[in-house]
Every structure is written in C-alpha cells, then in structure tokens.
Structure 1
Amino acid sequence: MSRFTDVVGRLAETIESRRGGDTSKSYTAQLLGDMDRAAKKMGEEAVETVIAAAQGDREALTAESADLLYHWLVLIAAAGVSLDEVAEKLEAREGTSGLAEKAARKA
C-alpha cells in the first residue's frame, strides 16, 4: 500500500504545482482553472472505468483507474478540497458497516 500512497502523494503535489500555470502548456492547469471541465472529465473517466470493469478487461480497468484517480485529484484540488479532508471523512466511517452508514445518511 505504501507504493500507492507515495505515488498518489507525489501526483497530488504535482497537480498543486500546476495551479496558476501556463494553460497553453499544462493540461492540469487548464482543468484546475475550469471546474466544469474538470468535473465532466472526471465523469467521463468514471464511465470508462465502469465499462472496463463490466467487460472484465483487467488492463483497461487498470489504465482507466489511473486516469480516474488523476482526474479525481484534479477535481478536488480545483474545488479546494484536500486529501486530508477526504481522509477525515473516511476515518469517520471506519468501523461502521457500509449498510449502516448508508442508512444513517437517509435518516
């Protein structure tokens, strides 16, 4: 798990370093400056990930998952949401059944 954590951490730092960058040279800077585009791109990658999974295409699922994670990181950065904030939400759910957590949201 540490390799994944390290890679995601480095990617998040790279994304942040592109904030305010030259949009003619950086796709990430373009997305960071356009929340609507970033959200749509993440949605597109999510659909592609689901399709790869449904088709049982392991290689495509792996590649699309990487694309999805990149676009998710860009989207939350564009929205000003930190990885620590996401981690806080996940930690609050630790030890709670997924079914119980969903039921609590409806209440």
Structure 2
Amino acid sequence: MSENNVIQELYKIIETRKESPIEGSYTSYLFEQGLDKILKKVGEESAEVIIGSKNNDTKEIVSEISDLAYHILVLMVAQGVKVEDIVTELETRRKKICNKKQKREDIIGIH
C-alpha cells in the first residue's frame, strides 16, 4: 500500500469484510456485533489516544491514533460514509479563515 492511498485501501478492505465476512476476522466480528460495539471501540480508542498523549509517549500515541483511525473507518463503512465525503468536508473547511467558533458566553451575552 502506498502512503497516499493507505486510508482508501484500508477502507476498501473493511468494506469487503462487511460484505463478505471471514471467520476469525476482527473486522468481521465488529460488523457481526453491530453499531453499539463499533461505537464502544471508537470511544475506547479515543480515550486511549488521550491517555497516551497525557503520558507524552510518542510510540503509544502513534499506536493509539492508528487504532482509532481503523475503528473510525469501520464506523464510516457501517454508516455508509465514504472517505471522499470526509476529504470533501476537510477541503471545504481548509478554505475557511477566521473560522474560530465564538464562546457560548459571547454568543448569549454573558460576561
């Protein structure tokens, strides 16, 4: 897999596991267990990214972000969200400048 296409290629593999499950495949297992299991794993991996970051451990951070990215891709396949959808959204956001959201207090006038 090339660096530029690894996300798209992994997405396609995950799609294949959903369409044609393989016994013993972790990806197939996640789809068999359903959306709640996938969401639980996304939550767990998000927390592990936070912990790794708080520990300031680069190796752990890279490992946990990779786990999170994989589980996000599984979630995307489960929900029918394509990699292209994310790329398009990120490209749209990249074009924006001065896009910082206001604090809630500023919006409702609390000081």
> Secondary structure in 1 aligned to 2:62?
helix
Task: Return the offset for 1:32.
Answer: 2.6
- Structure 1 runs of 4+ off > 6 angstroms? none
Tell me how large the CA RMSD over aligned residues is.
Answer: 2.0
In structure 1, runs of 5+ residues without a counterpart are none
Match of 1:17 in 2: 16
Task: Return the offset for 1:74.
Answer: 0.3
Distance 1:22 1:12 in 2: 15
Paired residues in the alignment total 101
Distance 1:91 1:7 in 2: 19
Larger radius of gyration: 2
TM-score under structure 1 normalisation?
0.82
Distance 1:78 1:58 in 2: 30
What do residues 33-52 of structure 1 show as CA deviations (whole Å, max 9, x unaligned)? 41111011011001101110
> Secondary structure in 1 aligned to 2:20?
coil
CA, structure 1 residues 83+101, in 2 after alignment: closer, same or farther (shift >3 Å)? farther
Same amino acid, percent of matched pairs: 34
